[in-house]
Amino acid sequence: MKSSLTFIWEIAKIVIIALLIVVPIRTFLFQPFFVKGQSMEPSFENGDYLIIDELTLRLRTPERGEVVVFKYPHDISQRYIKRIIGLPGETVNVEGGKVLIFDNKGEQVLNESSYLPSGVFTPGTIKMTLDKNQYFVLGDNRLASSDSRVWGVLPREDIIGRVVIRAWPFAALAKFGAPAY
């Protein structure tokens, strides 16, 4: 009887130690995310398993080009994944299939060649000026994405974290960061 109680106590200690390690990491540092849908193709496919870094964006502001996971502004129980295109204080103009950014340096056509295949254009016509703590996000599959062109700006407080690793499928294992513009 004593040996079975000792065994149960040892198992309980292992479970408690594991929970003390895993729960804070999962809650405050990293969390998994499964891609659902086609809005981020070709960068991410339906069913991809991603690791989201929650800590970095608590210490700094998101950068243009980073892929973020966030609470959908019109239903915070849903999670979306999109690429940050417009930053606070900028004006984003989608026109003629291109994305134009107006900031304190003037106007620039956004060069998205590092993550979009050639020939991909951005449909729609919209001009939006972002306030403090607002972002303009787009899916990489511009023809099949519900994004800022449809539902408006993304508030900073809705951003959960940024994609850092695609862990599955294993053959497509990759690390992600913001592209250079």
3-state secondary structure the chain: CHHHHHHHHHHHHHHHHHHHHHHHHHHHHEEEEECCCCCCCCCCCCCCEEEEECCHHHHCCCCCCCEEEEECCCCCCCEEEEEEEECCCCEEEEECEEEEEEECCEEEECCCCCCCCCCCCECCCEEEECCCCEEEEECCCHHHCCCHHHHCCEEHHHEEEEEEEEEECHHHCEECCCCCC
The residue written with tokens 């607002």 in the block is 134
pLDDT of 181? 64
Report the DSSP pairing between strands 67-71 and 159-168: antiparallel
Catalytic residue IDs = 39, 82
Q: To the nearest whole percent, how much of the chain has pLDDT over 90?
A: 29
User: How far apart are the C-alpha atoms of 135 and 83, rounded to whole Å?
Assistant: 10
Residue 27 has pLDDT above 70, yes or no: no
Q: Which amino acid is at 18?
A: A
Mean pLDDT of the 79-101 span: 92
pLDDT of 67? 92
Q: Which of 29-33, 75-79, 158-162 has the lowest mean pLDDT?
A: 29-33
User: How far apart are the C-alpha atoms of 167 and 38, rounded to whole Å?
Assistant: 18
Do residues 62 and 85 make contact, with C-beta atoms less than 8 angstroms apart? no
Question: When comparing pLDDT for 43 and 2, which is higher?
Answer: 43
User: How far apart are the C-alpha atoms of 105 and 4, rounded to whole Å?
Assistant: 72
| Burial of residue 129 (number of CB atoms within 10 Å: 0-12, 13-18, 19+) | middle
